[in-house]
Structure 1
Amino acid sequence: MNISRIISIVLVLLFIVAVARLARLENGAPPHVFVMLPGQEPATMYLPGPGDPFYTLFPKAVSQRPPAVVLIHGFTGDRVLMSGLARRLAENGYAVLAIDLNGHGENRNPFNGGTAESDSLRANVKTAVDYLRDNQLVDGSRIVVMGHSMGAGAALDYATHDASVTGAVMISGGWALGPERPKDALFIFAERDPKEPIQDPSTALAAHLAGVQQIELGKTYGDFAQGNAVEAIRMPGLNHITIVNSPAAATTIIKWLDSTFGTARTTPIELKDARRGSARFALLMFVFRLCRLASSADPWRRVGPKNVPGRADGWGY
């Protein structure tokens, strides 16, 4: 067996090991389960804490249950793309219900809206909020709606039609206010987000809620104790996609949730996602294997015996 074949076998084995580890990590902590919400709306629910918090003999007292977040993806996305953020929120003490909107991911219901038609998604968000309110594993009286891009528009729309939700986090999106003032609203967007459709509306909405002509980015207006806190913050070095899985953005969001829910954090914010390292390693092994396959393929190799009749060079057809 030559060295080239040995290297190829080793690369394949490393790729298999990396994929197996990624699968194990995907099914590992934080604890999470698939949930089919009413109306055939697929979701994944994440819970904080050690062990398996989904199985308890007796319901915990409401004061011991974690507050919850409804997490909403953007246009053409799904709940899997939001899993990194969902895991970080759960690792830091918050229950998360990540949903697939109509026409996205595993949701087979027709999508009837557009990127700016948030009201068409209100029923999806309401289904998730109602599920959490009736769930004995979370504190259904403390719920924040959070979304990215189109999902941010859906979160803001819902928060302005349901005054009972505790707060709203709009990640790179949010375009219009409804009849109710949203409680504790955070507008967080990327430095490289488009200015007119995202950055300008986010700062304008935040300024309106703060009651100022022009908002100062990174400054909190209002009072969390009264539920009228508002802030707009621009995350440097990020774009519309990378902000979703950014540790810096997650840190900002978790701190906002801590203030919104009145969480007294006694440990540092946890931001590790072991899946990312395994995914990068698996991709690297896959690319190496492809490169080796490409280098071993000789387009000018002889495909027939030498001295083929009619050919002076001896190359086959």
Structure 2
Amino acid sequence: MRYRLALIGLVLILAGSLLASRVQTSGGVQVSEAHWRTAEGATMSGLLYRPAGLDGGRRAPAVLLSHGYINTREMQSPFAIELSRRGFVVLAMDMTGHGGSGGNVGAAGFGGPSALAFLRSQSFVDPDQIGLAGHSMGGGPILAAARAQPDGYRAVALVGSAPGLFGPPDEVRPDFPRNLNVVFGGLDEFAGLMWRTPKGTDLPDSPKLKQVFGVSSAVEPGRVYGDPGLGTARRLDLPHVTHPWEHFSSGGVAPVIDWMQARLEGESHPLPPGNQIWFWKEVGTLVGFVGFIVVLLGVFEAVLALPWIGDLRRSPEPVVAVRGPGGWIALALTAALPALTYLPFMKLGALWLPSAQFPQWIQNQLLAWALLNTLLSLLVAPFLRRGHPDFSLDVPRSSFAALAAVGAGALALLAMDRLLHVDFRFWVVGFRPLDASRWGTFLTYLPFWILHSVILVRSLCALLAVDGAGRRSTYLTAAGVLGGGFLVLAAFEYGTLFTTGLLLTPTEPLNVIVALQFIPLLAIVGVISVFTWRRTNSYLPGALICAIFLCGYVTSGTANHWSPDYPMTFPPAARSP
């Protein structure tokens, strides 16, 4: 019985990962790791999707894919899966400073030129039939590759992106890049930054877009302008989706499939653009993510049965007999303050510039927000104190149990990545293994996350320690309190976007999108906190698990803006995903 929860978690991980692998290898596609170097010497990373039937010297058309800011190669799975099952070789790259690639953001043309050269060098790739596609900042490496090898590609798709933003301004012209498909969401949060129009739906009248298309009147979505033979073909697709949905919706994926099938020749299994199966891969990686959390909890439960660690096990002691109005006010403030302070503290955190010790700009901002909220909670706590919690505190045993739980989850994640080339994710939430080069970064940031988590989890457990509180209500309260504030924030932001075409705070699109991740992540923190506290009467094991979990999640998925190999740059793309 003590291993039941851990076994359930492992079953979920295996089932979800096998489903994800089965989908991304549909039709006999082989997925493998790819590594190469930029001309400047940075190691690059990607996933190479090779369709079946390329033995014997046959060559296939190919597409280079790039993700956006603070994403990784796995984020392009919908495009990679659909193109590869149609017979295209696909290279989904990690941009410099992202995922498993070295360097910093923007270095070596974002890694695009070297990625295109690597793809063209593959013996099973037809070098005369290559397409390029990038989402958001992913337009940076795509356009850099097109500049570096103007005759090395035939078609480009910019998804939620624009020329002239991630490279020279003179890219905004009707003859560069060749055969361009612009896919831009009618609800895209970055319309003003990308195309200088307030709303995505205004894009057809954008002077910048007209310049790219070489026309003086409004661009008609779906119409092909120019001559594909001369490389001047242009088409605008305007699906009614947001920026993060452009690579996570049929409406965002289909135009790219259609454009590449029309502009490139030689795919072995042409299918209608609407024929898509990629979503089932996301279902599989979501099941894997759930299994990962269950494994953390299950291994923690099993460790408590060990002789030395067993001394941690104690029943939770209530702080008060009933919650009362003061307790509800305290819970409401715990939910509201992090969300209310998120945007201003993130802006303040942008002043914490990247350095050799703290190279991740977004993580610097998130830590500024987390630590300032920790300070706020300490200032407010004396006015909301209710009773005197009598928590157990055993640092050695708590540390061992936390490391065992997180270590088991990390090993499962690493195994699925190495064996099946899948991580644990769903939409904007993605947890991938830490690359070896990022371990030092992780250890540098970890003490700050531990400080934040200890204060947060202790305060939460003190508020939940009510005599007679039911198990289910305690879990729901914890998840709702920690994730609820960001849920309300997202509801206001996107409720305004869906009704007016603009976010409630239209100048903060990146931070609003980043905030979406914290709805499930903080709810998970609440569940872990309750699970460990109910078994130990201590906030410390849960705080340590949550700190390692959050630090690992952010470090593995966030971009490096400082690298010993390149001078640090702050391109405009540093403020867009």
Q: 2:202 matched to 1:197?
A: no
- Code of the residue aligned with 1:258 in structure 2: it is Q
Q: 2:250 matched to 1:247?
A: yes
Q: Cα 1:283–1:266, aligned 2, differ >3 Å: closer, same or farther?
A: closer
Q: Alignment RMSD, CA only?
A: 3.4
Q: How does 1:118-133 map to 2 (within 5 A)?
A: 120-122=107-109, 124-133=111-120
Q: Cα 1:154–1:48, aligned 2, differ >3 Å: closer, same or farther?
A: same
Q: 1:175 aligns with which of 163, 185, 188?
A: 163
Give, in whole Å, the separation in 2 of the partners of 1:101 and 1:287.
Answer: 28
Cα deviation, residue 244, structure 1 = 1.1
- For the 8 Å contact 1:18–1:278, the answer to whether it is kept is no
- For the 8 Å contact 1:79–1:100, the answer to whether it is kept is yes
Q: 2:101 matched to 1:107?
A: yes
Q: Structure 1, residues 68-101: CA drift from partner, whole Å, max 9, x if none?
A: 1111111111112222321222112211111112
Aligned residue number for residue 315 of structure 1: none
Cα deviation, residue 138, structure 1 = 1.0
Give, in whole Å, the separation in 2 of the partners of 1:101 and 1:289.
Answer: 31
Q: Cα 1:272–1:227, aligned 2, differ >3 Å: closer, same or farther?
A: same
Q: Structure 1, residues 34-77: CA drift from partner, whole Å, max 9, x if none?
A: 11112411121112236xx5xx3x422xxxx2211111111111
Q: How many residues align?
A: 278
Q: Secondary structure at the match of 2:63?
A: strand
Q: 1:272 aligns with which of 277, 294, 297?
A: 277
Q: Secondary structure at the match of 1:96?
A: strand
- For the 8 Å contact 1:147–1:169, the answer to whether it is kept is yes
Q: Cα 1:70–1:244, aligned 2, differ >3 Å: closer, same or farther?
A: same
* Deviation larger for 268-277 or 72-81: 268-277
Give, in whole Å, the separation in 1 of the partners of 2:17 and 2:296.
Answer: 22
Give, in whole Å, the separation in 1 of the partners of 2:181 and 2:60.
Answer: 20
Asked which structure has the greater RCO (Cα within 8 Å, sep 6+), the reply is 2
Give, in whole Å, the separation in 1 of the partners of 2:90 and 2:192.
Answer: 31
Q: Cα 1:290–1:102, aligned 2, differ >3 Å: closer, same or farther?
A: closer
Give, in whole Å, the separation in 2 of the partners of 1:147 and 1:127.
Answer: 15
- For the 8 Å contact 1:243–1:249, the answer to whether it is kept is yes
- For the 8 Å contact 2:51–2:85, the answer to whether it is kept is yes
Q: Secondary structure at the match of 2:91?
A: strand
- Code of the residue aligned with 2:99 in structure 1: it is G
Q: Cα 1:208–1:35, aligned 2, differ >3 Å: closer, same or farther?
A: same
Structure-2-length-normalised TM-score: 0.43
- For the 8 Å contact 2:12–2:288, the answer to whether it is kept is yes
Q: How does 1:9-48 map to 2 (within 5 A)?
A: 9=4, 13-28=7-22, 29=25, 30-39=29-38, 40-48=43-51
Q: Cα 1:247–1:14, aligned 2, differ >3 Å: closer, same or farther?
A: farther
Cα deviation, residue 105, structure 1 = 0.5
Aligned residue number for residue 138 of structure 2: 151
Q: 2:230 matched to 1:234?
A: no
Give, in whole Å, the separation in 2 of the partners of 1:254 and 1:170.
Answer: 12
Q: Secondary structure at the match of 1:212?
A: coil
Cα deviation, residue 161, structure 1 = 4.9
Q: Cα 1:14–1:191, aligned 2, differ >3 Å: closer, same or farther?
A: farther
Q: Secondary structure at the match of 1:93?
A: coil
Aligned residue number for residue 122 of structure 2: 135
Aligned residue number for residue 90 of structure 1: 84
Structure with more of its chain in helix, by fraction: 2
Cα deviation, residue 137, structure 1 = 1.0
Give, in whole Å, the separation in 2 of the partners of 1:298 and 1:290.
Answer: 20
Cα deviation, residue 209, structure 1 = 3.2
- For the 8 Å contact 2:195–2:208, the answer to whether it is kept is no
Q: Cα 1:266–1:70, aligned 2, differ >3 Å: closer, same or farther?
A: closer
Q: 2:234 matched to 1:216?
A: no
Structure 2 unaligned blocks of 5 or more: 165-169, 198-202, 301-314, 320-389, 392-577
- For the 8 Å contact 1:47–1:96, the answer to whether it is kept is yes
Cα deviation, residue 157, structure 1 = 4.2
- Code of the residue aligned with 2:10 in structure 1: it is I
Q: Secondary structure at the match of 2:81?
A: helix
Cα deviation, residue 23, structure 1 = 2.7
Q: How does 1:74-89 map to 2 (within 5 A)?
A: 74-89=68-83
- Code of the residue aligned with 1:137 in structure 2: it is F
Cα deviation, residue 122, structure 1 = 2.4
Q: Structure 1, residues 233-291: CA drift from partner, whole Å, max 9, x if none?
A: 2211x211121121221111100111111468754444113322223345567789999
Give, in whole Å, the separation in 2 of the partners of 1:223 and 1:158.
Answer: 22
Q: Secondary structure at the match of 2:125?
A: coil
Q: Secondary structure at the match of 2:225?
A: coil
* Deviation larger for 225-234 or 24-33: 24-33
Give, in whole Å, the separation in 2 of the partners of 1:59 and 1:136.
Answer: 8
Q: Secondary structure at the match of 2:69?
A: coil
* Deviation larger for 127-136 or 270-279: 270-279
Q: Secondary structure at the match of 2:96?
A: coil
Q: Structure 1, residues 185-210: CA drift from partner, whole Å, max 9, x if none?
A: 01111222122112447754442232
